Amino acid sequence: MDIDLFSPEAIKNPWPYVEQVQAAGPVVYNERIGTWMVTDDQLIRKTLANSDRYKIEGSIAEEVFGPEAFITMDNKARHNALRGIWSVAFQRDSLERLGTLIAGIADEMMDKIEDRFRAGETIDAMAAFGRELPAYVIAHMLGVPDEARPKIVEWSDRIGEGVSEPPNFSRDSNPAWLASEQAKAELADYILGQIEERRRRPGDDLISQIVHSDVGRGLSDHAIMANTRQLLFAGNETTAKWLGHSLVVLAQHPDVRRELVANRGLLPNALEEIMRWEPVVLIIPRLVSGGDAEIAGTRIPEGADISLITAAANRDPLRYEDPNRLNIHREYKANLGFGYGLHSCLGVTLARLEAQVTISRVLDRMPDFVLAGDVDYGAFQLRGPLNVPLALN
Ligand code: HEM
């Protein structure tokens, strides 16, 4: 098979491509992009559960985040020790008071556009709040000063553009990759400065937590930086894109939007359904390690690149009835939008809180919106709207 999942057409509308991949079988080699594609929900869960055989180490993720970030560690003891420093901070109880902060940021951003929207102007929701809101929230959690927030958004965006290439792309001649390397270096310098400051003046923030933890005391500044930087990137681009998808889907499904305006209790489940139906992370990469592997009877050589097509798994008919239909009343079943296994998303509760609070504020303040132009999408792997032009119905 040689489907180009990274072509502009697939980025614009991935679903016909995902269906072709799915139809070709649960495990298929894609010559064009040099990867084994796995599409079945159960097989992907099994693969992600076996982090000894299917490694994130050595994959593109390691190049993006660096080997010292726990998102790229397969050694469970090391991974869990590092992840454990922040686990409590990302639990629901700890995050509860952030709801007020998120609503405040959302309101502040919407104050600037609501009157214009009501006067009939088209508003780009990504520019107005979608892109920046998640960065502002994580910057607050890290204790980063407000004036650095626009720069953090810019660095995250540039890193995001670099990861959006097929597994076999050539790094050195790729402008997006080179720009993302530069952004990573600038962000690293900035975080190293923040670490230095927290050593002198600890605060009530995530950088202080890692610097002054028992595990953190045994880490180099560079390792602390890599673990902090991963939060900025893993949390910003993804949550911004989820907000964008949610607004597009609600604009395209006015019946669903009206239901949610009338009954906000349906919103959490509706957002999970949007994540299933229109996920942000369409592919999770891994490498075969420890000898040749066999997945569903297909032999995959040691060292081969595997692309777990979570987008296909989220529409797997064996797991979801009528999977191509958006149904916010579907009985909840966890989808693979936030990953699975050792590396399942640390920030899932935060992302849900941000999406629920922000979309709820949109439904309060600008309930009657429609799409007022074309939506552009920037990438396949980490996919979401670059712009969401909204106008009053
Ligand atoms: C809609 C928003 C989000 C989506 C769709 C998302 C998706 C994912 C996925 C699919 C993974 C697994 C990656 C893999 O197995 O290779 C992951 C891991 C991770 N995510 Fe998220 N994420 C989101 C928001 C966040 C937020 C807000 C944060 C933190 C601020 C965050 C931090 C992380 C971290 C640190 C990991 C690595 C966990 C580990 O290795 O133990 N994510 N995320």
pLDDT in tens, 31-74: 998 999 999 999 999 999 999 999 999 988 888 899 999 999 99
Ligand 1 geometric centre to CA of 147 (Å): 25
Q: How many domains does the chain have?
A: 1
The residue ranges of the chain whose pLDDT is under 50 are none
Examine residue 2 and state whether it is found in any structural domain, yes or no.
no
Examine residue 1 and state whether it is found in any structural domain, yes or no.
no
Residue with CA closest to ligand 1 atom 18? 345
Supply the CATH number for residue 72's domain.
1.10.630.10
Examine residue 111 and state whether it is found in any structural domain, yes or no.
yes
Pocket test for ligand 1, best of 242, 345, 349 (most atoms within 8 A of CB): 345
Per-residue pLDDT at 36: 97
> Rounded CA gap, 201 and 110, in Å?
34
Ligand 1 geometric centre to CA of 243 (Å): 15
Examine residue 3 and state whether it is found in any structural domain, yes or no.
no
Does 385 contact ligand 1 (Cβ within 6 A)? no
Does 70 contact ligand 1 (Cβ within 6 A)? yes
Does 338 contact ligand 1 (Cβ within 6 A)? yes
Does 351 contact ligand 1 (Cβ within 6 A)? yes
Ligand 1 geometric centre to CA of 233 (Å): 9
Does 359 contact ligand 1 (Cβ within 6 A)? no
Per-residue pLDDT at 102: 96
Closest atom of ligand 1 to CA, residue 355: 1
Per-residue pLDDT at 168: 65
Pocket test for ligand 1, best of 346, 356, 357 (most atoms within 8 A of CB): 346
Examine residue 340 and state whether it is found in any structural domain, yes or no.
yes
> Rounded CA gap, 256 and 92, in Å?
27
Residue with CA closest to ligand 1 atom 34? 346
Ligand 1 geometric centre to CA of 175 (Å): 26
Does 384 contact ligand 1 (Cβ within 6 A)? no
Per-residue pLDDT at 166: 64
Residue with CA closest to ligand 1 atom 27? 235
Examine residue 47 and state whether it is found in any structural domain, yes or no.
yes
Closest atom of ligand 1 to CA, residue 56: 16
Domain that holds residue 273: 8-392
Does 235 contact ligand 1 (Cβ within 6 A)? yes
Does 86 contact ligand 1 (Cβ within 6 A)? no
Residue 325: Cβ within 10 Å count: 11
Per-residue pLDDT at 61: 86
Residue with CA closest to ligand 1 atom 19? 345
Predicted TM-score of the model (pTM): 0.96
